[in-house]
Amino acid sequence: MIATRIPATLELGIVALLISLFVGIPAGVYTALRPRGVATQAILMLTLVGVSIPTFVIGIMLIFFFGVQLGWLPTFGRGGTVNLGGWETSFLTVDGWRALILPAITLGVYQLTLTMRLVRAEMMEVMQSDYIRFATARGVPMGRLYFKHALANTMVPVITIIGLQFGGVIAFSIVTESVFQWPGMGLLFLESIRFVDIPVMGVYLVVIAFFFVLVNLIVDLLYMVIDPRLRVKDLA
């Protein structure tokens, strides 16, 4: 039962995480480089609203606006899927992508705000470092300075938080899956609580713990890829 629901939850979590990364990191860099701009203040206000509104309220608002009023996107279910060797994926159908948009945005809004604010704080701190000032004095192009030197040095703490966020997305997608009737592990967990199905609840908690351990292992390996100082070439 868990195995049949894992693909839906993983795909929802991956898309939500990608939304938070592709929007949150550029927004964090922009707000760090222009801290007093009008657009920066507007972005910060929007992120404050996004982090304050409960997830189920965001989901209901998206359903009402895009599903009921405009009729652009489906409001429940997973849409069409394709079986690839036992893995039911919605990435290969148009209906699957249309059904994935609203729940992924709902689940990714909170992670997006955290990512943006963390990148902004780390970027502003790095920009005050001595090596950044020295590189500026040497005439290093600003694009290279921002994205190769400054942003690269902000990514270690950011990756730590992103890894924990992905584990949290998988574990706490229950509310989003309930609002959109998304057939993932979270909805199965709610059903098992209603019917007091102890084995399903126990296996769900073990699977979530496994995902947290796996994600933290991947994060530790990514540290060495991003920060060359952590690479140990010779232990002798």
Query: Domain 2-230 adopts which CATH fold?
Result: MetI-like fold (1.10.3720)
Banded model confidence at residue 141, pLDDT cuts 50, 70, 90: confident
Task: Compute the distance between CA of residue 109 and CA of residue 53 in angstroms, rounded to an integer.
Answer: 10
Q: Judge if pTM exceeds 0.85.
A: no
The pLDDT value given to residue 17: 86
In order of 146, 161, 189, the CA distances from 1 in angstroms are: 48, 30, 11
The pLDDT value given to residue 235: 46
Cβ neighbours, 10 Å, residue 146: 18
For 228, counting Cβ atoms within 10 Å of its Cβ (0-12 exposed, 13-18 middle, 19+ buried), the class is exposed
- 154-179 mean pLDDT: 79
pLDDT digits (tens, 9 = 90+) for 107-139: 888 888 888 888 888 888 877 777 777 777 777
Cβ contacts of residue 117 below 8 Å, gap of 6+? 28, 47
The rounded percent of the chain whose pLDDT value lies above 90 is 0
The pLDDT value given to residue 223: 74
Task: Compute the distance between CA of residue 193 and CA of residue 204 in angstroms, rounded to an integer.
Answer: 11
Tokens standing for 145? 């300075």
The most confident of 81-90, 147-156, 198-207, by mean pLDDT: 198-207
**Under 8 Å between Cβ of 105 and 62:** yes
Banded model confidence at residue 229, pLDDT cuts 50, 70, 90: low
- 211-232 mean pLDDT: 76
**Residue 75, pLDDT above cutoff 80:** yes
The pLDDT value given to residue 236: 46
pLDDT mean across residues, the chain: 81
Higher pLDDT pick, 163 / 65: 65
- 52-65 mean pLDDT: 87
* Domain spans of the chain, in order of start: 2-230
**Under 8 Å between Cβ of 9 and 189:** no
**Under 8 Å between Cβ of 143 and 111:** no
- 221-227 mean pLDDT: 74
The pLDDT value given to residue 38: 85
Q: Strands, E, within the chain: which ranges?
A: 82-84, 87-89
* Residue in 91, 224, 114 with CA at minimum distance from that of residue 169: 114
Higher pLDDT pick, 233 / 156: 156
